[in-house]
Amino acid sequence: MKNDTPQAKPLDSIFKPKSIAVIGASRRESAVGHAVFKNILSGGYKGIIYPVNPGADSVLGVRCYKSILEIPDPIDLAILIVHAQDSVKIFQDCIKKGVKGVVIISAGFKEVGAEGAKLEKEIAALAIKHGIPLVGPNCLGVINTDPTVSLNASFGRTMPKQGRISFVSQSGALCTSVLDYAKGANIGFSKFISMGNKANITELELLEYLGEDSETDVILMYLEDLSHPREMIDAARKISGEDAHLKPILAIKSGRTLAGAKAASSHTGSLAGSDEVYTAIFAQGGILRVDTVDELFDYAKVFSSRKFPKSNRVAIVTNAGGPGIMATDSCVRHGLQMAEISDKLKAELKKVLPSTAALTNPIDLIGDAQHDRYDAALKLVLRDKHIDGAIVILTPQAMTDIEEIAHTIGRIATKHTKPVIACFMGIVDVSAGTKILEDWKVPYYKFPESASKAFAAISKYSAWVRRPRTIRKEFFVNQTEAKSIINKANREGRKYLNAEETFGILHAYGFPLLASTTCDTPQKAAEAAQKIGFPVALKISSPDIIHKIDVGGIRLNMHSKDEVEKESKALLETVQKKMPQAKILGVTVQKMAKKGREVILGLKRDAQFGPILMFGLGGTYVEVLKDVTFRIAPIRELGAQNMIHSIKTYKILEGTRGEKPADLNKLAECIERLSQLAVECPEIAELDINPLMTYEKSKGCVVVDARILIS
C-alpha cells in the first residue's frame, strides 16, 4: 500500500485503497455485482474487501453486510453496483461512513434521459461538497496492476499483466476489447480506467494523476469529448513536454465526422465539439492524436521503449528490396526524411557487405543476409551522426537466421540511445524472433507501414519536446479605448459594431490598418479622399448593414475627388432606397489596399472551448478548400507560427513562381495580437479580419475589412 506516503492524493483512494466495500456484490453469477466482487477477490487484491448486500449473508465465502454503515472497519473506497434510484441514498451512507472515494459502475443515469441526469447531478453535487472523488457512473471500473495493490475493480473478463502504460477510456465496452487485445498482444498496463459518464472525475483529473504516477510511462486515452478543454491543454503540455519525467500522451477522439459526432452525442448525452477544434487542442497540448485502436497500441509499443530520435532522419536496413521500397514510401508519406548515406558510411558498409548489397537508403543486405550482415550494417548506421534512428526489416527467406538476427538487433538497440524499430514480416516463422525482440524490449511490427508510422510518431513527439520555447507576448495596447467602444455599443444595445468602432478596436490593439475616415456628406468624403491619397474605396457606414456588398454599399478604385463626390452621393442614395430603415452614418473613405496575398484571421468565442482563433488562406477558394487552422487563445509566438505553417496552401505564403515570401513575422504578430484581444476583451463574441492583405517579407500586412460581434 502506498497511500500512507506523505504525498497521498485524493485519487489514491480510487487506485490504492486499503479497504473496499462492494455495494451490490451479488451471489448471482450473471450479475455485474458478482463479477466485480469476484474480480477483486481473485485478482489478488492486497487490502480488505467487504461485500454489501442486504439480501445475502456471504458472497463467494466472504461475510456480507446489509449496509456499508454496518461494516465495523474504516472503508477507503466504495464501489456501487446498485439501482440508479437507490444510488443517492447509498452515496449518502458512504459519506456517513467516511469513505474517501467512490466508483459507480451501475448504469441508468445521464445516458438514459432526463430523470437519470437529475440523479447523476445530485450525486455529483454531493461528491463535490464532501470532496469525495467519484468515478462513473456507467463505467466498467478501474484497474491497478501495481503488485503492492493488485486491484481489478472492474467487470472485465481479464486482469491485464503489469506494464507501464495507463489507459483512460470514455467507453466501457472498448475497455473490454482493449483488455482482450492486450492479452493477445502481450501488452501490460499500469492503471486502467473506465470513466463512464464523468459525473465528477474526468480525463483532466485522471491525466494529472497519471502524470505524477511513478508507475506510468505512457498515457493512452479514448475520448468522446473533453470536459475541460483549456485546462487539458495546460495539463497535457506539462506532462508531455515540461515535466522531469516526460510522458507521451496518445489519444483517440472519436466522433470525428458529423455522423460520428451524432452517434457520440446520442451515446453519452454529451455535446461533441467541432473536430478541428479538438485537433487544435491536441496540438497545443502535445497530445498525439490517433485514429484507430491498433494505431494507439502500435504507438504505445514504440513510446514504451522511451527512445526518441533527435530529428527525423531515418535509415532503413532490410534483407528485401520490395519491403524496403514500401517502408520508404511510408516514411516519406508520414513526414520522415530518408537519411542521406554519406560517402564515408558507404565506404564502411562496402567493406562489410557483399558487392550486390544496395548501399543507398534503404540499405539492402540482400536476401541471403544472416545476422552478421545485420550486425555490421546496423552498428555502422547507428554510429553515423547524420542518422537519427533505424527501421530494420526482416523477411523470412530461406537463409534468414531469424532468432540470431533478433538477438543481434536487441543487443545493438540496447546499447544505443537512438531508436531502433524492427519490422519482422510474417506471423508464424518470425514468431520466435519477435519473442526475442520482446525480451530485448525492441518495438516490432508486422509491416513496413506500421514500423514507419511508429517512427514518425516518436519523431513527431521528439520535435514537440525539443521545440523552441517561446513566450506569450504582451503587446502594449490601448485596452481602455477598446473597452469603451464595446461599452458604448453595449449601452446602445448593438451587437454588430460599425466600421469606425471595429477599426477603432483593431487600432487600439495595434493591427495595421488602411488610412480611413467616415464622412457624413459626399463633399467631406471627397476632401478626405484627397487627404488619404488615391485610389480609395467607398463603403457605406451603418450599424444596421452587415453585408455591405449586398446592398450596393461599396465602390472600389476611385481615382479623383470628383469621382468620390459623385459616387458617394450615388452610394448613399442606393443604400437608402434599398434599406430605408437602416441608420446611416455616412460613407467611409478608405485607402485602397495594394494587391497582396489574402489571408483570413478570425476569433470565435465558444461556450465549451472558450476563444477559438482561426487563421487561413483568403480569396476565392476559401470556402471550397476550407484551408484554415484553429487554436485556443491565448497562444505563444510558436503557436502563431505553427498556425501559419499548418495550412495546406502555406506554399503560397512562402512564395511560388519566383514570388518572394510573405511577411510571416508580421502575420504571426497579428495572430498574437488577436490572441491578446481575445483574452482581454471577453465581450467580443466573434471577429473576422477578411481579408488581411499580406505583402512581401518586411513589408507587413494590412487589414482590408473586418467585422466584430459582441455579446
Within residues 485-524, the interface with a second copy by CB under 8 A covers none
Q: How far apart are CA 401 and CA 420, in angstroms?
A: 19
Residues 633-662, interacting with a second copy (CB under 8 A): 648-649, 651-652, 656-657
Residues 6+ apart with CB under 8 A from 50: 19, 20, 21, 22, 62, 65, 71, 73, 75
- Please report, for residues 91, 106, 551, 623, the alpha-carbon distance to residue 49 in angstroms, rounded to integers and kept in the order given: 18, 19, 75, 60
Residues 575-604, interacting with a second copy (CB under 8 A): none
Least gap, CB of 5 to a second copy (angstroms): 34
Instruction: Please select the residue that binds a second copy; options are 430, 458, 499, 537, rule is CB under 8 A.
Output: 430
Nearest to 142 by CA among 80, 74, 187, 92: 80
Q: How far apart are CA 10 and CA 209, in angstroms?
A: 9
CB of 170 or CB of 304, closer to a second copy: 170
CB of 172 or CB of 543, closer to a second copy: 172
CB of 453 or CB of 539, closer to a second copy: 453
Find cell 444596421 and name the residue: 544
Least gap, CB of 328 to a second copy (angstroms): 4
Instruction: Please select the residue that binds a second copy; options are 8, 69, 128, 185, rule is CB under 8 A.
Output: 185
- Please report, for residues 160, 163, 191, the alpha-carbon distance to residue 210 in angstroms, rounded to integers and kept in the order given: 18, 14, 8
Instruction: Please select the residue that binds a second copy; options are 4, 343, 492, 623, rule is CB under 8 A.
Output: 623
Instruction: Please select the residue that binds a second copy; options are 99, 102, 264, 536, rule is CB under 8 A.
Output: 264
Q: How far apart are CA 197 and CA 109, in angstroms?
A: 8
Residue 550 within binding range of a second copy, rule CB under 8 A = no
Instruction: Please select the residue that binds a second copy; options are 72, 131, 184, 580, rule is CB under 8 A.
Output: 184
Least gap, CB of 340 to a second copy (angstroms): 11
Instruction: Please select the residue that binds a second copy; options are 398, 491, 493, 531, rule is CB under 8 A.
Output: 398
Burial 624-637 (b: 16+ CB within 10 A, else e): eeebbbbbbbbbbb
CB of 397 or CB of 608, closer to a second copy: 397
Least gap, CB of 215 to a second copy (angstroms): 24
Instruction: Please select the residue that binds a second copy; options are 26, 53, 169, 542, rule is CB under 8 A.
Output: 169
Binding range to a second copy, per CB under 8 A, among 206-214, 263-271, 471-479, 569-577: 263-271
Q: How far apart are CA 387 and CA 270, in angstroms?
A: 47
3-state secondary structure 524-548: HHHHHHHHHCCCEEEEEECCCCCCH
Q: How far apart are CA 637 and CA 265, in angstroms?
A: 35
Residues 348-387, interacting with a second copy (CB under 8 A): 356, 358, 360-362, 364, 367
Angle (CA) 324 328 334, round 5°: 145
C-alpha cell at position 229: 478543454
CB 198 within 8 A of CB 168: no
Instruction: Please select the residue that binds a second copy; options are 12, 76, 449, 637, rule is CB under 8 A.
Output: 449
Least gap, CB of 79 to a second copy (angstroms): 15
3-state secondary structure 199-245: CCCCHHHHHHHHHCCCCCCEEEEEECCCCCHHHHHHHHHHHHHHCCC
Instruction: Please select the residue that binds a second copy; options are 338, 463, 513, 679, rule is CB under 8 A.
Output: 338
Nearest to 287 by CA among 274, 272, 303, 271: 303
Residue 556 within binding range of a second copy, rule CB under 8 A = no
Q: How far apart are CA 323 and CA 55, in angstroms?
A: 64
The number of residues that bind a second copy (CB under 8 A) is 95
Instruction: Please select the residue that binds a second copy; options are 27, 46, 183, 441, rule is CB under 8 A.
Output: 183
C-alpha cell at position 310: 533527435
CB of 57 or CB of 329, closer to a second copy: 329
Residue 621 within binding range of a second copy, rule CB under 8 A = yes
Residues 314-333, interacting with a second copy (CB under 8 A): 319-326, 328-333
Find cell 514537440 and name the residue: 464
3-state secondary structure 343-358: HHHHHHHHHHCCCCCE
Least gap, CB of 694 to a second copy (angstroms): 15
Least gap, CB of 692 to a second copy (angstroms): 18
Instruction: Please select the residue that binds a second copy; options are 197, 284, 305, 395, rule is CB under 8 A.
Output: 395
CB of 594 or CB of 648, closer to a second copy: 648
Binding range to a second copy, per CB under 8 A, among 43-51, 155-163, 408-416, 671-679: 155-163
- How, if at all, do strands 610-617 and 628-632 pair? antiparallel
Instruction: Please select the residue that binds a second copy; options are 4, 6, 7, 30, rule is CB under 8 A.
Output: 30
Residue 436 within binding range of a second copy, rule CB under 8 A = no
The residues pairing with 101 across neighbouring beta strands, listed in sequence order, are: 77
Least gap, CB of 330 to a second copy (angstroms): 8
Binding range to a second copy, per CB under 8 A, among 18-26, 390-398, 465-473, 492-500: 390-398
Kindly write out the interface string for residues 216-235 of this chain, putting x where it contacts a second copy by CB under 8 A and - elsewhere: ------x-x-----------
Task: Report the amino acid identity of residue 118.
Answer: K
CB of 208 or CB of 627, closer to a second copy: 627
- Rg of the chain taking only CA atoms, in angstroms: 32
Least gap, CB of 640 to a second copy (angstroms): 22
Least gap, CB of 41 to a second copy (angstroms): 16
Give the count of beta carbons closer than 10 Å to the beta carbon of residue 481.
Answer: 14
- Please report, for residues 48, 79, 197, the alpha-carbon distance to residue 193 in angstroms, rounded to integers and kept in the order given: 21, 14, 12
Residues 661-680, interacting with a second copy (CB under 8 A): none
Q: How far apart are CA 45 and CA 333, in angstroms?
A: 47
Residue 428 within binding range of a second copy, rule CB under 8 A = yes
